Amino acid sequence: MDLRICIEEYLKTCSRRSNLSGKTVKAYRLDLEQFERMARTQNVERINKSDIETYVSELQAVRKPASIRRKIAALRVFFRFVEDEYGVENPFARTRFKIREPSPLPKTIPLYKIETLLSAIYEKLFSNKKESKRYGELLRDVTALELLFATGVRVSELCGLTARNIDLAEGVIQIRGKGGGMRVVHVCNPSVLQLLTDYFLRFSKPIARTGFFFINRIGSPLLPSSVRAMLRRRAKEAGIGLHVTPHMFRHSFATLLLEADVDIRYIQQFLGHRSITTTQIYTHVTSAKQRSILSEKHPRNKLNIKTE
């Protein structure tokens, strides 16, 4: 039985239905004629589940998920009609298709907005006396944000840093990532290193008592929820007009390094990503190579911020 004839008969039936508009029937025609052009056979009785799967696979290479779902729905109803009218086995019987959704693009912070945000906090910092409680809070906040941007660290990893994880003399941060794996990232910007040192000296007693590097206002370890709330508040104060999250610093870290032509294998190492399917393409980043990359390529070196 010819596929084209079946399509025309089905469309005639659709046209006779009062609840279907001309536009709907036209859309059915376009979808079914596309399938006809791509079909392996024009004999409707020979079309099977494998043919449908191949068609869907070809659609996924060129169409958006919403469009694919519409085309599958039109085809499913068509073959139900063919089954009812002509007794042909329905290739859609007991068949389900999982449409791959596109991965959402990571949200980043434009570099000039990062500069605006950090500059605003530094300005507030310098306007307060070093002995004041306000100065200490601002010092902690800007240190946390600078480290998020300097290392691409996750907010949970940031809050989990201990004094033992940070070598201020060498500018080396040991980060315990997901699954307990450890990675090392260098902080190579002199201003950020000095900031880390100033922060450590200011909070040395609660750091020694708790063991954690980042301390909240009551002397306890800083929580990820507190970092998120702080970032929202600082972003609003800076007037950058953007809903900012700690993870956006991580995305910005990776994206800006990629834009600076840093090999993605190195960025993979910096971020602590692991994938069974891609492990073989990654190479070990030596300490000297990583230091060289972050010294020369890190976008923090492009920011003009008064830090003293």
284 is catalytic: no
Residue of 228, 282, 289, 297 marked catalytic: 282
Question: In this structure, what DSSP letter does residue 176 have?
Answer: E
Structure tokens at 30: 């376009």
Q: Alpha-carbon distance 160 to 181, whole Å?
A: 13
**Catalytic: 273?**
yes
Cα separation, 299 vs 62, in Å, equals 36
Contacts 24+ apart (CB under 8 A), 94-102: 95/49, 95/52, 95/53, 97/53, 97/56, 97/72, 99/56, 99/60, 99/65, 99/68, 99/69, 99/72, 100/60, 100/65, 101/65, 102/64, 102/65
* Catalytic option among 124, 183, 234, 250: 250
243 is catalytic: no
* Set 29, 46, 69, 247: catalytic member: 247
Residue tagged active-site, from 4, 134, 178, 232: 178
Active site residue 70: no
Kindly name the residue from 71, 124, 154, 234 that is annotated as catalytic. 154
Q: Which of 158, 28, 30 is nearest to 81 (CA)?
A: 28
Integer Cα distance of 39 and 152 in angstroms? 48
CB 6 within 8 A of CB 43: no
| Active-site pick, 107, 113, 273, 289 | 273
Question: Per-residue b/e over 205-237, b at no fewer than 16 CB within 10 Å?
Answer: ebbeebebbbbbeeeebbeeebbeebbeebbee
Q: Which amino acid is at 101?
A: E
Residue positions annotated with a catalytic role: 154, 178, 247, 250, 273, 282
